[in-house]
Structure 1
Amino acid sequence: MNQIPSVDLRDFLSDDHSKKMQFVEQLGSAFEEIGFVAISGHFLSDKLSEDLYTQIKAFFDLPQSIKSNYEIQGLAGQRGYTSYGKEKAQNAPVGDLKEFWHFGQYEEVAPEDYLYPANITVDELPAFNSVGKEVYQQLEKTALYMLRALALHLRLEETYFDQWVSQGNSILRPIHYPPLTKAPEKAVRAAAHTDINLITLLMGAHGRGLQVQNRQGDWIEAIASKDQLMVNVGDMLSRLSNNRLLSTVHQVVNPPEAGWSESRYSIPFFMHPKATMPLNCLDNCVDDQHPQLYEDISAGDFLNERLRELGLLK
């Protein structure tokens, strides 16, 4: 496969059963073959998207002394600000050329499920906080319906994922890739990696930079139209499905020298379940031809393992 397939979530939400099941088939096939899809018909309006981009550009333009006030020690980067170059991909020799912010879950969660860190409020930009919350909730809603479609594709109850992702540990991450002042020796804006979570919904994949590695090992451009989100499988879902659904390696490459002076922004939403969700391979994804590939583990333990690998958790 040499291009990213497109689907329309309105087909799944339709009262027409044939359209709904066609969406299930299209989404499932895309996630088995390349692990990425461009989706329209989601719940995020153009205005809300534009409002968040306005706010995050204002935040990243703040003096470093102010941004650093929001980098809270002890949170492993799970809320607030993470400074330039601190995160690196698994096994990468150097940090990525980016800085970012994390919005997290807004709903109260029972202590036995998992106590999340509180969201950090930016005093200098009140609208940054309110717009971030609204975008978070609209993307969370979109992701829930996509997981319902995937549950049907995996021959599960449609609402299988609901109990695990409702009030889950999801993250909205505005990212700033600053202008380059010289040719990086080894670093790229985001080194080749897979995502940790169940699925990722990406705002702002409208220009070149994001590349996806297909099954033949070739890098292909992943570019969505203005009304689309780019959505991909994360390691948790790949693990749960015993690699039936493909967590695909992807990267954000550095621009040609002519584009060094320009910043790049993107905003992924990482759909995480509650920490207590078991990621044990599903019984209907294991058989004689597809033996179990992974040991049993909870989502919380798996996340902590990966955060240590990324250098965010000691």
Structure 2
Amino acid sequence: MDLAEIPVLSLVADRADLPERVGQSFRTFGFAMIRDHGIDQALIDQAWAKTEEFFALPVEAKLKYFDREIHGARGYTPFRTEVAKGATEKDLKEFWHVGRDLPEGSPLASSMPPNVWPDEVEGFRDTFTELYAQFDEAGAKILSAIAVHLGLDANWFDPAIEDGNSVMRLLHYPPVGDGAGGAIRAGAHEDINLITLLLGAQEAGLELLAKDGRWLSVAPPEGAIVVNIGDMLQRLTNHVLPSTTHRVRNPSGERASHSRYSMPFFLHLRSDFDFVTLPECISDENPDRYPVSITADDYLQERLREIGLKG
């Protein structure tokens, strides 16, 4: 398996030329790697411990936090529920969702249910509330660099993501047994949101589909996060920044008997954001693909139905 030669950029050392460098990485791969991102390593270590502790609970205990009415938007989603768009086999994973706590009386409350928290894991709520906030801050900094790269004001995304419907997912891929059949840990897919910030890609398995049709391994160095473009940003930029297909393949050999854990933060727009293609991304060579507007929440609900999280 060839390695994707994605540059590792620093939110601190590369600040001056970050817009150009991160923009070129996204245009080339749909992915970037970021270090010095400001997410506290001690908090990350604590979050891994809490994640493992939760997923080690008996299935019956975890299912207490699965709410079919909200289709996994918060709390627990059982093993083999989600399916990649167009796939027939459900993914070999289970996960937990943490969302934004909205201020009381928010007009967005109808699209963003309140969080639920497991009683069995001490400190779970405090740990992931703080980690969510730090992901949120790092994501806003990366979006600012993207805005400058696109010729926009550095603060262009700020109102678009204020009280945005961002979701932090705690993912557990159990050991792969003989009964997997044609299923893999995460089938080939594109993310729905603006950008995804990912912790846990140091464990082998994440791959992106290159423009030449090859699958390339994504392997960040210790301390770096992987960031990729989602379909919402691809739509907003008229495909100038591509949402790249990626997957998590099954391990082989000794690693097949081990669990894999990861933590993606899906950074979303406000639910009431109206998609209007950025004029900076429209040209004679790249005419507007999306002349009809749609809200971020309508787009999200459409995609959730496609991946089996909503009926």
TM-score scaled by length of structure 1? 0.95
Structural mapping, 1:201-220, within 5 Å: 201-220=197-216
Moved >6 Å (runs of 4+): none
Q: Count how many residue pairs are aligned between Structure 1 and Structure 2.
A: 307
Query: Which residue number corresponds to residue 278 of structure 2?
Result: 282
Aligned 8 A contact 1:9 1:40 in 2: yes
1:110 to partner: Cα distance: 5.3
Query: Which residue number corresponds to residue 75 of structure 1?
Result: 70
Letter aligned with residue 301 of structure 1: D
What is the CA deviation profile of residues 95-149 of structure 1, one whole-angstrom value per residue up to 9, with x for unaligned ones? 1000000000024275434432110011111311111111110010000011011
Matching residue within 1, 6, 22 for 1:4: 6
Query: Which residue number corresponds to residue 303 of structure 1?
Result: 300
**Quick check: 1:237 aligned with 2:229?**
no
| Secondary structure of 2:68 counterpart | coil
Aligned 8 A contact 1:114 1:274 in 2: no
Structural mapping, 1:1-314, within 5 Å: 2-11=4-13, 20-108=15-103, 111-115=106-110, 116-182=112-178, 184-294=180-290, 295-314=292-311
Query: Which residue number corresponds to residue 15 of structure 1?
Result: none
Aligned 8 A contact 2:4 2:218 in 1: no
Identity across aligned pairs (percent)?
38
Distance 2:4 2:119 in 1: 45
Letter aligned with residue 221 of structure 1: S
Of 176-185 and 102-111, the range deviating more from structure 2: 102-111
Aligned 8 A contact 1:233 1:245 in 2: yes
Of 265-274 and 254-263, the range deviating more from structure 2: 254-263
Query: Which residue number corresponds to residue 16 of structure 1?
Result: none
| Secondary structure of 1:173 counterpart | strand
Aligned 8 A contact 1:109 1:167 in 2: no
Distance 1:164 1:110 in 2: 19
| Secondary structure of 2:216 counterpart | strand
Instruction: Name structure 1 gaps, 5 residues minimum.
Output: 12-18
Aligned 8 A contact 2:205 2:251 in 1: yes
TM-score scaled by length of structure 2? 0.95
Aligned 8 A contact 1:143 1:271 in 2: yes
Of 264-273 and 294-303, the range deviating more from structure 2: 294-303
| Secondary structure of 1:102 counterpart | strand
Letter aligned with residue 63 of structure 1: P
Aligned 8 A contact 1:114 1:275 in 2: no
Distance 1:285 1:134 in 2: 35
